[in-house]
Amino acid sequence: MQKLSSYTRVEAHLLQKGRQGIGKCPNVTYEMLSDMRKEVERCKDLVERSKTRTVSLPTAPSSSNTADTNKKNKRGPASALEKAWALEDRKHLDALICRAIYSGGVAFNFLRNPYLREAFAFACSRNMQGYVIPGYNRAREGLLKQERRHIENFVGQHKEHMG
C-alpha cells in the first residue's frame, strides 16, 4: 500500500509517474520534466548527506586497538582482576558515555547529576538485553508529562503540610 499524501500526488502528476492512479500533467514539457527530476534527485541526495552519521572513533575494546594490543602482549595476558572487573568493557563504556556528552554539547557537570548516576547504576546492575533508551518523542512528550505529574504531586503534598 503506497502512501498518497498531497506531496506524492503532486509529484506523481508533475513528474508523470504512472501506475499511481494519478493523471499525468499534459502541460509539462520534456525540458521541464528533466529539470524537475534533476531537482528531486539533488534534494534526495542533500537529505541523504545531511542525515546523522556516527563517526568511527577508537572506543572498541583492545582487540581492535593495535596500540593497546602491543601493550597487552608485553605485559602478558590479562590478569584475573582485569577479567573480574571487566576493565576493557568499563573503558569502552566510559568512552561511549563521554562521546555522547561531547557530541551532544552537554556540559561536563552533567556527569555529576545523581539521576544520571542512578540510571547507569540501575542499568549496570541488571541484565536488560535488547533495552533501547527512550527516543526523542517519548522523552519529550510521555516521560516529561509523567515526571511533571510526579513533581506536582510531590510539591502539592508539601504545600498541604506547610499551609
Alpha-carbon span 91 to 95, nearest angstrom: 6
* 146 and 94 within one domain: yes
* 156 and 80 within one domain: yes
Assess if residue 1 is contained within a domain.
Answer: no
∠84-87-90 over CA atoms, to 5°?
Answer: 120
pLDDT along the chain (163 residues), means of 10: 71 80 87 91 88 65 48 62 74 84 86 91 88 84 85 84 73
* 86 and 42 within one domain: no
Assess if residue 150 is contained within a domain.
Answer: yes
Which pLDDT score is estimated for 2?
59
Assess if residue 63 is contained within a domain.
Answer: no
* 35 and 80 within one domain: no
Which pLDDT score is estimated for 31?
92
* 157 and 100 within one domain: yes
* 83 and 157 within one domain: yes
* 131 and 80 within one domain: yes
* 87 and 21 within one domain: no
Which pLDDT score is estimated for 144?
83
* 97 and 156 within one domain: yes
Assess if residue 60 is contained within a domain.
Answer: no
Alpha-carbon span 30 to 163, nearest angstrom: 78
How many other CB atoms sit within 10 Å of the CB of residue 111? 12
| DSSP conformation class of 148 | H
- Could you tell me the residue range of the domain that residue 99 belongs to? 74-162
Assess if residue 66 is contained within a domain.
Answer: no
pTM: 0.47
Tell me the three cell numbers of residue 25: 500533467
Q: For residue 25, is it left (φ>0), alpha (ψ between -120 and 50) or beta?
A: beta
* 82 and 38 within one domain: no
Assess if residue 55 is contained within a domain.
Answer: no
Residue with cell 561511549: 96
How many domains does the chain fold into? Answer: 2
